[in-house]
């Protein structure tokens, strides 16, 4: 559930911890913070994508290729990734089954974050997940090539774009 008063893990521009602030303060003041982005893939290299709820405060109703969220003050990146997959998809994940890829730094005038991207291989193809309705409208598996087409080639405005999308997609393709 979206809580504008939840405390977020605030850091400086070098990703060093500062002090927690409420979510709305972090976003309104464009403070550096930590997030996770978990790319869920299956053995056929389909990516589980989500359509964001219209209740979201950022990019409502748009599609994205990953799940995740903000770190709480007591979290590390792994704890956050496990919690987010449980909350958003209703799946139980062990930390050791998450493949850490890279921490990306996004320094935009409207948003400053360090996002740790993980890959999680899930051996299923159905869409039968216990999704968090406040956060997600629907989920579906999409072929890697189709994702590359909409994100990289077409730059589709219905999709959330991250500066590192192409790099992560190439990593998934080669792994």
Q: Which residue would you say has higher pLDDT here, 124 or 171? A: 171
Q: Domain with 46 in it: what CATH number?
A: 3.90.79.10
DSSP letters for 39-74: EEE-TT-EEEEEEEPTT-SSSTT-EES-B--BPPTT
The pLDDT score that the predictor gives to residue 162 is: 93
Task: Tell me if 59 is assigned to some domain.
Answer: yes
| pLDDT range class, residue 84, cuts 50, 70, 90 | very high
| pLDDT range class, residue 5, cuts 50, 70, 90 | confident
For 9-68, how does the pLDDT look when each residue is reduced to its tens digit (9 = 90+)? 999 999 999 999 999 999 999 999 999 999 999 999 999 999 999 999 889 999 999 999
Domain range enclosing 37: 7-174
Task: Tell me if 2 is assigned to some domain.
Answer: no
For 145-161, how does the pLDDT look when each residue is reduced to its tens digit (9 = 90+)? 999 999 988 989 999 99
Task: Tell me if 84 is assigned to some domain.
Answer: yes
**Coil, strand or helix at 22:** strand
Q: CA 133 → CA 52, 68, 122, 159, distances in Å?
A: 9, 14, 21, 19
Task: Tell me if 153 is assigned to some domain.
Answer: yes
Output the six-digit token pair for 169: 């997609």
Task: Tell me if 92 is assigned to some domain.
Answer: yes
The pLDDT score that the predictor gives to residue 121 is: 97
Q: Which residue would you say has higher pLDDT here, 5 or 112? A: 112
Q: How many Å apart are CA 75 and CA 12, to the nearest integer?
A: 16
pTM greater than 0.85 (yes/no)? yes
The pLDDT score that the predictor gives to residue 60 is: 96
Reported as type and span, the H/E element at residue 115 is: strand 111-121
Task: Tell me if 17 is assigned to some domain.
Answer: yes
The pLDDT score that the predictor gives to residue 105 is: 98
The pLDDT score that the predictor gives to residue 1 is: 56
Task: Tell me if 88 is assigned to some domain.
Answer: yes
Q: What is the mean pLDDT of the chain?
A: 95
For residue 154, count CB atoms less than 10 angstroms from its CB and return exposed for 0-12, middle for 13-18, buried for 19 or more.
Answer: exposed
Domain tally for the chain?
1
Task: Tell me if 1 is assigned to some domain.
Answer: no
**Coil, strand or helix at 11:** strand
| pLDDT range class, residue 175, cuts 50, 70, 90 | confident
């Amino acid at each position: 559930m979206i809580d504008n008063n939840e405390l977020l893990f605030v850091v400086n521009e070098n990703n060093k911890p500062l002090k927690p602030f409420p979510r709305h303060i972090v976003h309104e003041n464009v403070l550096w913070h930590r997030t996770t982005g978990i790319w869920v893939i299956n053995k056929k290299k389909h990516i589980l994508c989500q359509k964001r709820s219209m209740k979201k405060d950022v990019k409502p109703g748009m599609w994205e290729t990953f799940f995740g969220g903000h770190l709480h003050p007591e979290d590390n990146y792994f704890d956050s990734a496990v919690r987010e997959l449980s909350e958003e998809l209703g799946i139980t994940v062990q930390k050791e089954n998450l493949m850490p890829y890279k921490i990306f730094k996004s320094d935009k005038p409207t948003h400053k974050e360090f996002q740790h991207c993980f890959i999680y291989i899930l051996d299923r193809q159905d869409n039968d997940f216990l999704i968090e309705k406040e956060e997600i409208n629907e989920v579906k598996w999409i072929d890697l090539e189709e994702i590359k087409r909409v994100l990289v080639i077409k730059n589709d405005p219905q999709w959330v774009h991250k500066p590192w999308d192409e790099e992560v997609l190439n990593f998934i393709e080669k792994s």
